[in-house]
Structure 1
Amino acid sequence: MKLLKLLTHRVTLVVLLLLLQLALLFGSILFLQDDFVYFYVVYIIVSVAAVLHIINDRSQPAYKIAWLIPVTLLPIFGTVIYIVFGRLRVSKKFKQRMELVFQKEKEAVKETIPYLEIEDGNLDAIFQSNYLTNKGGIPIFKNTTSEYLPFGEQAFASMKEELEKAEKYIFMEYFIIEEGKMWDEILEIMVRKAQEGVDVRLMYDDFGCLFTLPEGYHKKVEKMGIKCSVFNPFVPVLSSIFNNRDHRKMAIIDGKVAFTGGINLADEYINEIQRFGHWKDNAIKMEGDAAWGFTLMFLSLWDFQRPEERPYTDYFPGYTEQKNAVGYYQPYTDLPFDNEMLGENVYLSLIARAKKYIYITTPYLIIDNLLMEALCTAAKGGIDVRLQTPHIADKAYVHALTKSNYEQLIEAGVRVFEYSPGFIHSKTFVVDDLYGTVGTVNMDYRSLFLHVECGVWMYKTEAIPQLLNDFVETEKLCEEITLEKARDIRWFTHLGRAILNVFAPLM
């Protein structure tokens, strides 16, 4: 039965159709070789064009190298694979729809969000905020309280509590959803609220849920009274667009409360099931003005997927004074379609402005030269730079790539800690008791350059000391990786990591 289920699964059928298309494509090329002279001329022209395109592309040097190798070492086949999968191509209609969505978002920002400046004159904070406003589109907010939730179990309980309070709308957007305790309990609340007349919407990534939800699950959800949108449906057509996934995680209630962080809606995120030891994850709850920023981010992507006739301002909840609110919050989203590496630039900016310490948690550490040099330079300059990564891998090859970066970082003075109880999935920065970010952006190529991501940048908020405390407490459960241990690997392990590193940007 398991074999039959595997053979009839949508993934199997899609993979077979994709392989058939590749076979037909390569078969056509081999057939054309009978006219060798003409074929060779065409091949040379196409290969040179591909190499020139790669070299002159604005993407990261590591990404270029990863494609130049198969294009130059695997004649014909490497070039074809690059043409099919290596270039992000979006249609004119795609661009027009995106421009329309951006315009509606800008109008809503202008009508609902008053201009705000950081009042203490900190130029480092002002610079970071200005960049996010100019390139991310969502301005900075005050009048917001927050609670950092250092474990998925706490986030789950808090989300259910807030969902029960919904009066107007619930917007949920997640990369992975899986039926089980966590999702079933959240879905029950959503269905009940929809029956009460609340506008309930769900958006999930099709690729992220390939093995966790049955085919056509969105139709089942629609029958329950919940509006549902599937991001970038996985279809059997050769295209680079497969690489671009919606990796965001957010829950918004009435535009007044918003959650984001590392957790998806599946039982392993709350340790109901354990596959990689204890799963350490997080979320942050924001109540107040900043929740409206997340609402706009959700509406714009929803509008792109399912055109929204109503203006976004119809969902504006108004502003209610939040007692004891301190600091500044700036929600941001990173898109792979605009040639702006916003997620990476948030991290680089935080590193560059550190004066005392940089504490980072990340499940994956597969970074480009910019981030590597920034972290090493900060440590060499006397900044206390620390990284927390998993001890137990969820993906062996990704963990191998993560470990391959330890030696260079530790040599520079960066301290690396592995979370001994299991897998750490949080994505956080806390810097100098002043700055922090919580969100969905992993320190790997997929998150930084290929996925739709989100997060919140913070300055002097109540969540900053909570972030710091969580890092300090988690470190007590970690094993520090020494330089000797980082170097103590067999030659074939070193060789394997070296090969993986070449193609890391494509993984």
Structure 2
Amino acid sequence: MESRAKETAKKTAKKGKNGIVKLIFSRIFIFALLIFLQLLVLFYFFWHVNEQFKIFYDFIRIITVFLVLYIVNEKKSDPTMKMIWSIVILIIPIFGALLYLFVKFQPTSVLLRKRLEVINHRSDNYLEYKTDIKDKLQKDDPLIENLGEYIYKYSGCPPYENSKITYFASGEEKYDYLIKKLKEAKSFIFLEYFIIEEGEVWNSVLEIIKQKVKEGVEVRVIYDGMCSLTKLPMGYFKELREYGIKAKSFNPMRPFLSTHQNNRDHRKNLVIDGTIAFTGGINLADEYMNLKERFGYWKDTAVMIEGEAAKSFTLLFLQMWNVDEEIIGDYNKYLDVDCPSLPDTSGYIIGYGDEPFDDEKVGEQVYLSLINTAKKYVHIITPYLVIDNVMMEALTFAAKRGVDVKIIMPGIPDKAYAYCLARTYYEELIKNGVEIYEFTPGFTHAKQFVVDDDKATVGTINLDYRSLYLHFECGCLMYKNKEISLIEDDFEKTLQKSKKITLEDCRNRSALYKLCGSILKMIAPLM
């Protein structure tokens, strides 16, 4: 018995050592180490400058005050970010000022902003906001028409009728439809995903799209460059190209200090023949379909759009595809497709995209509009909760005026620090009437709102700074669709598996846990 225990201990120790060795030689560790070394060099430089220029310290203080005045008066910056930058610059003048200038004037970000301006300008007129739909929406609900007008102006995506929504309450449900629809593709397939990971799900999809290429179907794939660190081999897009698939990695991660690396393609956008589109929280990896377990049961949702509204997601894909192309191609080939009349359709569908460089927070504005116009209830599922004062005020004011505001969060988080940070917002929300629940079986990765039985949005946008301010995102807004009742039913079923958080729960957490949360909250916009 004792020898068996010793043998088990040796195996465990060996496994631990192998794990450490594997970590040290992993791409993500090497990447982090190189970034850390650059930070050390940067800190040393700033410290050295501080030591050399002590005589001019008061003069530099005056300069930093003017820089802070510039930051405070910037028109389109987030107030929380203004506050953080102001504090950093005033406490550590030289370091803070040079760091701000380094972040503000990143050449890559400036070039990408200009490129996106050109792309968006050229694609302004591809999709039409039809007058008859505009008039109908104005009669049904002027506030929704106003929101549709806003989305069309800043995202290029108009409201549509003659479109159908299918809601998926889990990754498993989406997977079955996705495979079926991919096999039926006749003209083109566009896949754009934040995460693609080798496994049962991606291998099945890959086999289908390889076959489709042989059949003459055009296939394009975009995956976010972060995948190359942990999910896919380096340069995986080259392997896909060998199969005849047009593929690229968006914004590959490079071991150099750059704020540009914050801007990830967080979209999940699959378009088939221009008449079918999928979006939601579900990536192409096994845990999203619960084929392997991570953080308990993985609760996720998605929608399939059929009909004319799928054109919005085609446009969003083509815009992203052209970010690093020398020539912006003609989109009409992919947008000018026949969409036959669909039976049993109802309501309106508005696809929308969001990007970090146009100074317009489309995703957040959609959420705020839904909250601020709610009359009966606002029901939310989100994996993260890192919100600014505007969102906090909207949620708490809705609750104060009698709207039933409920938020379902994960019971088993994927990131402990994000969970600790999210819980710092609980007490204020609960005090003001917002109900918070945690999904006890596992992790909620869905990003959705359902409001008053007639409005809902499902997409990729989390309630955190990264999604709302830094990432490329997309979503699907629905009004008066039959499927909205299914989204609300699913929310109620998820609620039954969730624990309601009380003020006592918030106050009973350890002092250390609260301290960690408070520290994290100070840098929340950077997380």
TM-score (norm: length of structure 1): 0.94
Give the drift of 1:164.
0.5
Cross-structure match for 2:391: 371
Residue 152 of structure 2 is aligned to residue 133 of structure 1: yes
Q: Determine if the alignment matches structure 1 residue 103 to structure 2 residue 121.
A: yes
What amino acid sits opposite 2:100 in the alignment?
A: Y
Aligned to 2:377: 357
Matched, 1:266 2:285: yes
Q: How does 1:76-475 map to 2 (within 5 A)?
A: 76-85=94-103, 93-110=111-128, 114-115=130-131, 116-117=133-134, 119=136, 120-307=139-326, 309-316=328-335, 317-475=337-495
Shift of 1:233: 1.5
Letter in 2 for 1:164: K
- Segments of 5+ residues of structure 2 without an aligned counterpart are 1-17
Distance 1:286 1:118, change over 3 A: farther
Residue 9 of structure 2 corresponds to which residue in structure 1? none
SS in 2 for 1:441: coil
Contact 1:386/1:417 (8 A) holds in 2: yes
Give CA-to-partner distance per residue, 1:385-427, whole Å, 9 cap, x none. 1111111111011101111111111111111111110000001
Cα distance in 2 for partners of 1:4, 1:46 equals 48
Moved more, 326-335 or 24-33: 24-33
Q: Check conservation: 1:417, 1:480, Cα contact below 8 A.
A: yes
The letter of the residue matching 1:18 is I
Q: Equivalents in 2 of 1:38, 1:98: separation in Å?
A: 45
Among 27, 30, 42, the alignment partner of 1:10 is 27
- Greater RCO (Cα-Cα under 8 Å, separation 6 or more): 1
Q: How many residues were matched structurally?
A: 505
TM-score in terms of structure 2 length: 0.90
Give yes or no for the alignment of 1:19 onto 2:36: yes
Q: Write out per-residue CA displacement over residues 408-464 of structure 1, whole angstroms, 9 at most, x where no aligned residue.
A: 111111111111100000011110111100000000011011111100111001221
Using the TM superposition, give the Cα deviation of residue 75 of structure 1 relative to its aligned residue in structure 2, in angstroms. 4.6
How far, CA to CA, are the matches of 1:142 and 1:155 in structure 2? 23
Q: Which amino acid aligns with 2:141?
A: N
Q: Which amino acid aligns with 1:256?
A: T
Output the CA distance in 1 between the equivalents of 2:524 and 2:314: 34
In 2 relative to 1, CA 220–406 (structure 1 residues): closer, same or farther, beyond 3 Å?
A: same
1:243 maps to a residue whose letter is: N
Which amino acid counterpart does residue 144 of structure 1 have in structure 2? S
- Equivalent in the alignment of 1:62: 80
SS of the aligned residue for 1:346 comes to helix
Output the CA distance in 2 between the equivalents of 1:447 and 1:320.
Answer: 35
Residue range with higher mean Cα deviation, 442-451 or 406-415: 406-415
Q: Deviation at 1:60?
A: 2.0
Change (3 A) 1:185 1:410: same
Letter in 1 for 2:81: Y
1:17-48 deviation per Cα after TM superposition (whole angstroms, max 9, x unaligned) = 33343344344444445643576478546634
Instruction: Give the 3 Å change call, closer, same or farther, for CA 85–473 of structure 1 in structure 2.
Output: same
In 2, the alpha carbon distance for the partners of 1:42 and 1:337 equals 34
8 Å contact from structure 1 (residues 14, 235) kept in 2: yes
Identity value in percent: 43
Q: 1:24 to 1:491 in 2, by over 3 A?
A: closer
| Residue number in structure 2 paired with 1:47 | 64
What amino acid sits opposite 1:174 in the alignment? Y
Give, in whole Å, the separation in 1 of the partners of 2:333 and 2:130: 17
CA offsets 1:40-65 (integer angstroms, 9 cap, x no match): 47854663454334322332222222
SS, match of residue 108 in structure 1: coil
Secondary structure of the 1:72 match is helix
Q: 1:21 to 1:493 in 2, by over 3 A?
A: closer
User: Contact 1:328–1:459 (CA<8 Å) still a contact in 2?
Assistant: yes
> SS state of the match for residue 178, structure 2?
helix
Compare 131-140 and 432-441 and name the one that shifted more.
Answer: 131-140
Which 5+ residue runs of structure 1 have no aligned equivalent? none
Match of 2:519 among 499, 502, 505: 499
- Cα contact 2:50–2:94 (8 A) shared by 1: no
SS in 2 for 1:204: strand
In structure 2, relative to structure 1, the CA distance for the partners of 1:488 and 1:106 (3 Å cut) is same
Residues 27 and 230, structure 2, Cα contact 8 Å, conserved in 1 = no
